Structure 1
Amino acid sequence: MEVLGVDDFAFRKGRHYGTVLTEMATHRPLHLYDGRDGEGLAAWLRDQPEVTVICRDRSSGYGEGARAGAPQAEQVADRYHLWANLGQAVEKTVNAHRSRLAEPPPARAGSHGTPAAEPEVVQPPKELKIVSRLREQHAAAHELWGQGISKAAIGRKPGLHQATVRKLVGTRSADDVVAKSLQRAHIVDPYVGHLHRRWNEGIPNAAHICQEIQELGYSGSELAVQRHLRRYRTGRGHVPDPGPKPPSVREVTSWIMTRPEHLRGEDADKPHRPRERDPELNRLTLHVRKFAAMMTGRHGDRLEDWIADVERGSLAPLAGFARNLRHDFDAVRNGLSLPHSSDAVEGNINRLKMLNRQTFGRAGLNLPRKRVLLTR
C-alpha cells in the first residue's frame, strides 16, 4: 500500500465523529477509529512505513498526525475540499456586494434627452382608504341618528357592528374616530412602495430604510419598519416585484463557480451583467477562473502567485481563504499538481452513513467496523 486516503464521518453530526482510512489503489477500507484527531492517525501510520502519499482534507489534526506518523509521505489536499472552501469564500464575497446585483433603474431623460440630475420629487402620501371610509360612515351614522333612527337600525343598513355604531354616534367629529383608528393602522403604509423597492434592491436593513423614509416625512419609529419587513424575512409575505428580480447570492455564486461553456441558454448571458456593473465581482470571477485552471491543469507551481495576487486585492473573504492556504501550502500545492484525490474515500463515507442510518445512529464503532472491514 503506497497511497492512503483519510477522511472523517459522523456518528452524530456536530457531536460525534470517526475516521476511516482507505487504500486508494483498491478502494478497500483498512481501519476505523473513534474521533478525528491526529494522534490516532499517527499511531496507525507508525506501523505502515510503506505509505508514501496521504490524501486528506485540510484538517490541521490530520496534517499533524500524518507528519508525526509518516514523515516520509507526501500529503495531498483533496481538490474537492479545496473547491468547496473556495465556493464558501465566493459566496461570502458576493453577499457583501448583494446590493449591486439588482438591475439599475431606467434613467429618466431630461428636456434634451440627457438623464435628469434633479432629485426625486416625493408626492405627499394620499389619504388612507380606512380614513376615507371612516369619514363616510361617521357622516351617514350622524345623519340617520338625527332622523331619529335607532342605533340597531343604523347598524343593519350598512352592516356595521353595534360597537362601531356606538363609537360613530358617540363622537362629534370624524377626526376623533380617525385619530383612534390610526393608532391601530400601520403608520408605514404610505411608504410601503419605498420599502418594497429598497428590499428588492437588496437593502433589508430596517434602520437604514427608516432613515430614508424619515426624510420623506415618516414620523413613526424604526420598530414599525422592522415589523413590516419581518413578514418577508419569515416567509409570511412576498414583496411585490416592481421589475426584474435581482439574482440571488447563490445564483451569482453558481454562475461564478461554473465553467462558462457549461452555462446554457439564458444562463450563458446572465453572469456578464453583475460583472459589468461591479468591477470587484469581475475581479472575483477572474480569480476563480485562474484557480480552476490551476486545479484542472495541475499547475500547482502557480499557487504562490495566485495567493499573492488575491492578498493584494480588496476582496476580504477571498483574501482570507488565500491566506489560509499558506498554513497548509505544501499539501495544497501537491493537490493542485498530483493526480491523487480522495474520491475512493467518499464511497466508504457514504457506505458508513447508510449503515449508521440502518442502526438509527446507536451502533457505536464496533459494528460498523466489522461490517466495513470484514466485508469484501
Structure 2
Amino acid sequence: MRDVVERVHSRYERRVSDAPVGGQPVTIVLAVRRFDCRNSDCGAVRFVEQVEGLSERCRRRSVPLLDALAQAGRAGARLASHLGIKVGRTTLLRLVRALPGPERTEASTVLGVDDFALRKGNVYGTVLVDIDTGKAIDLLDGREAEPLAQWLRDHPGTEAICRDRACAYAEGAKTGAPDAIQVADRFHLWRNLGDYVEKVVARHRGCFKPEPLDDSAPPADTAEGGPAVTVSELAQSRLVTRTRERYAAVQDLRCQGESLSAICRILALDRKTVRRFARAATVDELLGKAVGRSNLLDPFKPYLQQRWSENVTEASQLTKEISAQLYEGSEQTVRRYLRPFREMLTPPPAPPAVPKIRKVTGWLLRRPENLGNGEQRQRADTRSRCLHLDRLAEHVKTFATMMVQRPGENLGTWLSTAESDEQPDLHSFAIGIRRDRDAVSAGLTRPYSFGKVEGNVNRIKAIKRQMYGRAKLDLLRKRVILA
C-alpha cells in the first residue's frame, strides 16, 4: 500500500448520478485519486481508482442506477421518467451495448438448441439454453451447422444436446461435440406425426363423407328419369384430370432443366403452384389434398337446403343471407351449387354435416377420454367407415404410449409395423425417423424436456416487441443474457 500511495499523481472530485430519493435527483460526489503507472509495458499512463459496486470507468451514472435502467429504448426511458431520471432512449441503448458480456468458458452439461426469428422469413438466430437452470446462455447468428459446431468446440463439456428435428443442428452437434448424446424433442416428434396424420386424413376424406352427397339427386327425380351424375363427382373428376396433367407437365419441364420461373411462364401458373407440383414426390401426394379439400360453401349447405325447401330459390338473395353468416365466397359458387336443384321435381333433403379434415385429425391425435360423447361417436363412425383411418388410429395410439412411458427400445417395432402398412405418408414419417433414429430413441428414453427452450424463445419474442424493431443481435444478446 505504501508503494501505491507514493505513486499518487493527483486528486479530484468525481460526480456520479444515482437513483432519485423522494423525487429529488441525487448526485454522489467522490474524492478519488489518480495514479501513475510505473510499468513500462502497460499502455495506460495514469489510472483512476474506482469505488467497488458504485462507480465504473467512464461512467457518469452509478452501477445500481445502470442496473435499474437495463431496459433499453423507450421502455427504459419511460421507467426513468417515472423515477425522475432524465435520460434518452438512445443513451440507454448505448449503455446496454457497453455492458460487459458474460464470460463463459464451459458449456452446460445438458444444452438446449433452437432457432428464433430476427426477421421472420429472412433472418434467423440460434438460442442456447442451459436445460438444468432454464436460462439462455448465448445467442448465435444464423441457424446453420457451423456456428453451433464452433461454439461447442470453444465451450467443451456438453454431455447431451436437446434439439428439434432440424438437420443443421444435428450436423453441428455431431461436428462440434461428437461425444455428446443428441436428444430429439418429443413435442416436435408429435407435431411431425400430426402433420402426416393430417395428410392421411385428407387422402381418405371421401371415406367419411356421409351418403347421400350434398348435391346429388335420386335418379327418379331427374327431368329425364335416368341416372344422375352429381356436381361433386363431375368437379372431382375434372380436378383429378387437371392435377395429373399439370403434374406431368411440370415434371417434364423440370427434367428438361427449366427453372421454376420459366415453368411459370410456359404453363401460365402461379409460382407457388409450380413449386408445390415440383416438390411433390408423386402425383398421389397432390391428389390426396386436391380431392379431400373442402370449400367455403360446405358449412352453409344445410341452410341453403332449408331455404330452398321454403321456396326461396333466388341465388342472389341466398348469397346475401349466408354472407351475413360470414360466408366469404362468391355468388357464382352458390349458383353452381343450386343449379341441379332446378331440374328436380321435389327439393332434396338437407345434407348431413361433413367433418373437416382438421377436426378428424384432432379426434385421432387426442385421448378418447378427453373427447365429448358426440365426438367419440363420430370418431368411432369414422374409423368404421375407413379401414386405413382405423389402422392409422392404432399407430398413433402406440406412438403416443411410447412418448408417455418412454420405452425407446420399442421404436424399431413401431417403425416396422408402420412401414408394413400401405400408407405412403406413414412411410415418409418412418423414413425421417430412421435417418435420425439415435436422437429419436434418446428422446423417447431420456427425461429431458424442451419446454425450457421454447419458453426462452417466447421471451425473446417479447423482448423484440418491447424494442420496437431495434433488435440487432448484439443488443438483443445483451438484453436476453444479462436480464
User: 1:9 touches 1:349 (CA, 8 Å); kept in 2?
Assistant: yes
SS at 1:58 equivalent: coil
Query: How far did residue 48 of structure 1 move?
Result: 2.6
Q: Work out the CA distance in 2 between the residues paired with 1:288 and 1:230.
A: 28
Matched, 1:236 2:335: no
Question: What is the distance in 2 between the residues matched to 1:204 and 1:265?
Answer: 35
Distance (whole Å) between structure 1 residues aligned to residue 420 and residue 373 of structure 2 = 36
Q: TM-score, normalised by structure 2?
A: 0.53
- 2:180 corresponds, among 73, 78, 87, to 73
Matches of 1:246 and 1:361 in 2, distance apart? Answer: 45
Structure 1 residues 6 and 208, CA gap change in structure 2 (3 angstroms): closer
2:222 to 123, 126, 132: 123
Following superposition, the deviation at residue 35 of structure 1 comes to 0.7
2:464 matched to which residue of 1?
356
The aligned counterpart of 2:230 is: 194
Paired residue for 1:49, among 151, 156, 159? 156
More displaced stretch, 49-58 vs 231-240: 231-240
Kindly state the Cα deviation for residue 298 of structure 1 after the two structures are TM-superposed: 0.3
Picking from 265, 270, 287, the partner of 2:373 is 265
Q: Which residue of 1 aligns with 2:236?
A: 205
Instruction: State the distance in 2 between where 1:247 and 1:231 align.
Output: 14
> Across the two proteins, how many residue pairs are aligned to each other?
276
Cα gap change, 1:230 to 1:41, in 2 (>3 Å):
closer
State the distance in 2 between where 1:61 and 1:208 align.
38
Residue of structure 2 equivalent to 1:279: 387
* Closer, same or farther: CA 317–230 of 1 in aligned 2, 3 Å: closer
Secondary structure (helix, strand or coil) at the match of 1:18 reads: strand
- 2:360 paired residue number: 252
Alignment of 1:1-376 (within 5 A): 1-105=108-212, 120-121=219-220, 123-124=222-223, 194-195=230-231, 198=232, 205=236, 207=238, 232=297, 235-236=329-330, 242-375=350-483
Q: Taking structure 1 as the reference length, what is the TM-score of the superposition?
A: 0.68
| Counterpart secondary structure, 2:230 | helix
Give yes or no for contact 1:11–1:361 (8 Å, CA) kept in 2.
Answer: no
Task: List per-residue Cα deviations over 1:261-282 (Å, max 9, x = no partner).
Answer: 1112311222111100100000
How far apart in 1 are the matches of 2:476 and 2:426?
Answer: 39
Shift in Å at residue 363 of structure 1? 2.0
Q: Distance in 1 between matches of 2:424 and 2:412?
A: 18
Q: Distance in 1 between matches of 2:236 and 2:448?
A: 47
Structure 2 counterpart SS, 1:255: helix
Q: Distance in 2 between matches of 1:94 and 1:124?
A: 37
How far residue 361 of structure 1 moved from its aligned partner, in angstroms, is 3.6
Question: C-alpha separation between the residues in 1 aligned to 2:477 and 2:381?
Answer: 52
Indicate the percent of aligned positions where both proteins have the same amino acid: 43
Shift of 1:104: 3.1
Per-residue CA shift, 1:96-151, capped at 9, x if unaligned? 01111212339xxxxxxxxxxxx94462279xxxxxxxxxxxxxxxxxxxxxxxxx
For CA contacts below 8 A with separation 6 or more, give which structure has more relative contact order: 1
Q: In 2, are the aligned partners of 1:54 and 1:76 still within 8 Å (CA)?
A: yes
The one-letter code sitting in structure 2 at the alignment partner of 1:243 is: P
Tell me, what secondary structure is at the counterpart of 2:157?
Answer: coil
- Which secondary structure state, in structure 1, belongs to the residue aligned with residue 211 of structure 2? coil
Are residues 231 and 347 of structure 1, via their aligned partners in 2, closer, same or farther at CA, if it must alter by over 3 Å?
closer
Q: CA deviation at 1:204?
A: 5.5
* CA–CA separation in structure 2 for the residues paired with 1:204 and 1:333: 46
Distance 1:95 1:26, change over 3 A: same
In 1, Cα distance between the equivalents of 2:444 and 2:454?
Answer: 19
Deviation at 1:15, TM superposition (A): 1.3
Mark the CA change 1:25 to 1:97 in structure 2 (over 3 Å): closer, same or farther: same
How big is the shift at 1:40? 0.7
Within 2, Cα distance between the matches of 1:276 and 1:230?
25
Q: In the TM superposition, what whole-angstrom CA distance separates every residue of 1:58-101 from its partner, at most 9, and x where no partner exists?
A: 11110111111111111100000000000000000100011112
CA distance in 1, matches of 2:470, 2:237: 46
Letter in 1 for 2:426: L
SS at match of 1:271: helix
Q: 1:306 to 1:204 in 2, by over 3 A?
A: farther
Q: Distance in 1 between matches of 2:329 and 2:441?
A: 44
Residue 309 of structure 1, CA deviation: 1.2
Distance 2:240 2:465 in 1: 48
Q: Residue type matched to 1:71 in 2?
A: P
Structure 1 residues 319-357: Cα deviation after superposition (integer angstroms, max 9, x where no partner): 101111111100001001110121100111001111222
Provide closer, same or farther for how the CA distance between residues 208 and 340 of structure 1 changes in structure 2, counting only shifts above 3 A: closer
Greater share of residues in strand:
2
Return the offset for 1:288. Answer: 0.5
CA contact (8 A) 1:93 1:317 kept: yes
- Worse-superposed segment, 40-49 or 250-259: 40-49
After TM superposition, give the deviation of residue 316 of structure 1 in Å: 1.0
